[in-house]
Structure 1
Amino acid sequence: MNKKALLKLEDGKKVELAILEGKCGPSALDIKDLYKNTGLFTYDPGFVSTAACSSSITFIDGEEGKLLHRGYEISQLIEHDFLSVVYLLLYGNLPTEQQYKGFVSQVQTLFKQVPKEIKHIIQAFPTNSHPMPILMACFSCLAASYHAQHGNNIADLSFGIAAIAQVPVIIAMIYNHISEQEFAEVSDELSYSRSFLKMISARSDATSVEALDKIFILHADHEQNASTAAVRLSGSTNANLFACITAGITALWGPAHGGANEAVIGMLEEIKHLGNIGQFIEKVKDGEFKLMGFGHRVYKNYDPRASELKKVCTKVLNDLGTHDNHLFEVAMELEKIALSDEYFIERKLYPNVDFYSGIILRAMGIPTNMFTPIFALARTTGWVAQWYEMKNSKENKIWRPRQLYIEN
């Protein structure tokens, strides 16, 4: 039996709204005909209570602290390698051994097919540029090339796989440029994560490769977040895939989204030493400072990605050591306080994925300004999967939010 809600208006008019039930999570009131039937909009700043689409890719239960990809718990998927999870997000199932080999071969082939124009675009930027706007420019170039060859026609999934395969090469090239190094040789004989690590650093130890692979998995997709919404919104206008990924990169750069892991390191550097933590915490409680890397818009429990990255963080710090020991001492003390202080417990300000990812990448010797591009590298998979799902949905229409007009 279909459930319905009854909306009673002051003028006595009654409107029935269908209640849509998903596989799991909250149900949704179907309000698509509300304006037509009542002349009323709904008002929901930040879309905190609005489902803008239906999706079968990722599910978050913020109250319970759960994250599922295609029905699999993130704790299950973290035991796989990144390309297996990429395959899952794109095709809906984990690959068989034969499917995995074929997919890896396809990705490795595409690794070396970055258009030559990308190199010139990267070199046009000053070496002191932040890598994110360079990455935007590179995907704008890909968008132009894609549009010239195919217009705005819906392409098959191979174009999305090309984006996933080439983004690590592009980001490595950006890193080489801003580090004033020669462009690294692209290897298609190594694993996805090891290849990227080899292009941006001399290290390829098992601990670093495994840590990077898990960071990629944990950042691959996260439901309808700001950057994914930007990709879907842009895609709803029939803009091509690479143009929409550019929109995603733009949204991700903000410190309230993908730039948060950079902000974590900035916060730790500002605190500097263990002796300064007490004063810093008091200023956080007084509202003078924000505790970066703690709490989450969706999770009202421990971020399940943070639970997994905490294990990775411990292993990385134990295996690699670091020359910035004081920063990591500060980080671990902040974590201890947040998990024991009633102020943070009451407000559910648990360490999130940005807190641990920033610490791990710093321990691996990766510069802070590369943290968000690495996030973009991983999230490209989610953007591609979400874009194709949207383009193939019968419900797809141009996104056009409305407003409540007020006087100055």
Structure 2
Amino acid sequence: MVQGTTSKEAHNESLTVRDERTGKTYTIPIVENSIPATAFKKIVAPSKKGEREENETERGLRVLDKGFLNTAVIRSQITYIDGEAGILRYRGIPIEQLAVNSSYLECAYLLIYGNLPTRPHFNTFKAEVMHHSIMHHDSEELFASFRYDSHPMAILTSAFAALGSYYAEANPSLAGQGLYTRGTPESLAIMDKQIYRLLGKATTMAAMAYRIRQGRAFVTPPVGLSYTGSFLYQMDHLGEEGYKPNPILEKALDVLFLLHADHELNASCTTVLQTGSSLVDPYSAVAAGCASLYGPLHGGANEAVIRMLISIGPPDNVPRFLEQVKKKERVLSGFGHRVYKTSDPRSFIVRKTADEVFALTGTDPLLQTAMRLHDEAMKDDYFVSRKLAPNVDFWSGLIYRAMGFPMDFFPVLFAVPRVAGWLAHWRQMMLQEGGVKIWRPRQIYVGPEKRDFVPIEERKDEGKQPRERPTEVYHSGQSKRYYLAEYTGKAKL
């Protein structure tokens, strides 16, 4: 029997499994509507004759879950999502209430520390974050080393990783692996200081990545502005006296930051925790999360929406585009979500914010195409039956475009606010009961069984598919001349 009790009450909170291979019955406890995956290791059976030894049948069952479709890897108190009902809450508070009444920095505090702050606590938190927004002068050389046309996410990811090299006291490899897990006042103080630094410098580094493209000198973070106000100032200030960003754009960006602050265990957050489970410094963990968010299936989705709308063209082209989507000839970006099976609750808030921005900036020509796409898709059974409703990316890209941000900067505007969520989950894991265990998933090995090494002269070409052999690269220009030249030690192709 697997761990459990024999009482009727306890039996009702369990799962009974009968292994037809052996006839044995196992009782697995259900706690918080979940079952421990390790319980299945107790379900063993003898190997069948001729069975692959790599199946490890006698060592217990493994749980196969490609892409974490239904696997919980941590107990969390931070963000709750109900995809069926379209619910998103930060620490129990509905996102709709926070978007109207709170700010990004206040939500960052809420996510990290668990409750909305009192005014004295929030003043301390905000002052520390803004104080730590200034970058070391030497870091300017790192940013300047990138080409003017480098993708800003490549720059930002590199900058987060490099940032850790400035703070030896923040590195568990140097200061001891219990640096962040002890939970003592001294340990918490060190942890909080890194949180202030990462939140404060995120906007500064993003602005520096932006100004590289413009060929402009970097701007020292100003005093007295809001978090998003300081961000806009650092991107756009050209030396004018008394410069202040437009308050409507400042507020709109703050709302978008708030909505993007956290979204439970998405790909980038999971990457942060996977990396952080090795007890690496938080700068390296955040850099890994930034790299994960870079992908078009994650942080690049709002950029993909704009490229899609541009490719569609005028609103009259929408019906033809949707027919192509149904035939799998085109990709519909900005609709549907891995978690939400109804409407994304953030999309309604973003839509209202979009109206406020467009009233200031003027209507984007793509808006009419977007509206037609929205209306046509929402009355088409093909998309309705598949629960493909607009998500937050559908509208946020239009807002960023209206505000004058280049498309490849959109993922940066996703990454900067998500730092708060990453840090909240990282901090929770560091302080969890029982300590931190390094994340090490299992695999189902389906490769070749044991085989002997064959000398190269005796080998046969066994690659039957293109993926089983290296691709030959066509060389032209300088490379072609180089390979045609003769020199000592030239390799034989």
| TM-score (norm. length: structure 1) | 0.94
Tell me whether 1:339 sits opposite 2:339 in the alignment: no
Matches within 5 A, 1:259-408: 259-322=300-363, 325-395=364-434, 396-407=436-447
With 256-265 and 146-155 compared, the bigger mean Cα shift is at 146-155
Tell me whether 1:31 sits opposite 2:37 in the alignment: yes
Following TM superposition, the consecutive aligned residue runs of length 4 or more in structure 1 with deviations greater than 4 angstroms are none
Match of 2:283 among 242, 254, 266: 242
Read off the aligned partner of 1:174 and give its amino acid letter. A
Contact 1:146 1:242 in 2 (8 A): no
Read off the aligned partner of 1:93 and give its amino acid letter. N
Aligned to 1:174: 209
Instruction: Find the aligned partners of 1:64 and 1:160 in 2 and give their Cα distance.
Output: 33
Instruction: Find the aligned partners of 1:45 and 1:147 in 2 and give their Cα distance.
Output: 38
| 1:285-323 deviation line (CA, Å, top 9, x unaligned) | 11111110110000001001111111111221123214x
With 143-152 and 376-385 compared, the bigger mean Cα shift is at 143-152
SS of the residue 1:156 aligns to: helix
Instruction: Find the aligned partners of 2:249 and 2:161 in 1 and give their Cα distance.
Output: 31
Aligned to 2:27: 16
Contact 2:305 2:394 in 1 (8 A): yes
Instruction: Find the aligned partners of 2:158 and 2:105 in 1 and give their Cα distance.
Output: 26
SS of the residue 1:128 aligns to: coil
Match of 2:191 among 141, 144, 156: 156
Instruction: Find the aligned partners of 1:147 and 1:48 in 2 and give their Cα distance.
Output: 38
Aligned to 2:149: 128
SS of the residue 2:29 aligns to: strand
Tell me whether 1:96 sits opposite 2:137 in the alignment: no
Instruction: Find the aligned partners of 2:298 and 2:81 in 1 and give their Cα distance.
Output: 17
Aligned to 2:4: none
Which structure 1 residue ranges, 5 or more long, are not aligned? 22-26
Distance 1:224 1:260, change over 3 A: same
Instruction: Find the aligned partners of 1:295 and 1:354 in 2 and give their Cα distance.
Output: 10
Structure whose alpha-carbon radius of gyration is higher = 2
Match of 2:109 among 68, 83, 87: 87
More contact order relative to length (CA 8 Å, sep ≥ 6): 1
Read off the aligned partner of 1:294 and give its amino acid letter. F
Instruction: Find the aligned partners of 2:217 and 2:96 in 1 and give their Cα distance.
Output: 39
Instruction: Find the aligned partners of 1:150 and 1:47 in 2 and give their Cα distance.
Output: 30
SS of the residue 1:223 aligns to: coil
Match of 2:218 among 158, 161, 183: 183
With 300-309 and 194-203 compared, the bigger mean Cα shift is at 194-203
The Cα of 1:105 is off from its aligned counterpart by 1.3
Tell me whether 1:40 sits opposite 2:87 in the alignment: no
| 1:244-278 deviation line (CA, Å, top 9, x unaligned) | 00110011000100110111111111112112212
The Cα of 1:13 is off from its aligned counterpart by 2.0
SS of the residue 2:30 aligns to: strand
Read off the aligned partner of 1:144 and give its amino acid letter. S
| TM-score (norm. length: structure 2) | 0.79
Instruction: Find the aligned partners of 2:39 and 2:307 in 1 and give their Cα distance.
Output: 47
Match of 1:201 among 208, 219, 236: 236
Contact 1:78 1:214 in 2 (8 A): yes
With 9-18 and 308-317 compared, the bigger mean Cα shift is at 9-18
Contact 2:133 2:204 in 1 (8 A): yes
| 1:319-352 deviation line (CA, Å, top 9, x unaligned) | 3214xx3211111111111222211111111110
SS of the residue 1:400 aligns to: coil
The Cα of 1:111 is off from its aligned counterpart by 1.6
User: Number of residues paired by the alignment?
Assistant: 400
Which structure 2 residue ranges, 5 or more long, are not aligned? 1-8, 45-59, 174-178, 181-189, 238-243, 449-493
Aligned to 2:265: 224
The Cα of 1:150 is off from its aligned counterpart by 3.8
Instruction: Find the aligned partners of 1:41 and 1:53 in 2 and give their Cα distance.
Output: 18
Contact 1:108 1:189 in 2 (8 A): no
Contact 1:17 1:31 in 2 (8 A): no
Read off the aligned partner of 1:200 and give its amino acid letter. M
Read off the aligned partner of 2:19 and give its amino acid letter. L
Aligned to 2:15: 5
| 1:122-147 deviation line (CA, Å, top 9, x unaligned) | 11110111011111111111122334
Aligned to 1:24: none
Aligned to 1:53: 74
The Cα of 1:36 is off from its aligned counterpart by 4.6
The Cα of 1:195 is off from its aligned counterpart by 0.8
Distance 1:36 1:147, change over 3 A: farther
Contact 1:338 1:351 in 2 (8 A): no
Contact 1:272 1:326 in 2 (8 A): no
Report percent identity of matched pairs: 39
SS of the residue 2:338 aligns to: coil
SS of the residue 1:111 aligns to: coil
Instruction: Find the aligned partners of 2:354 and 2:61 in 1 and give their Cα distance.
Output: 50
Aligned to 2:93: 72
The Cα of 1:149 is off from its aligned counterpart by 5.6
Instruction: Find the aligned partners of 2:116 and 2:61 in 1 and give their Cα distance.
Output: 45
Contact 1:122 1:134 in 2 (8 A): yes
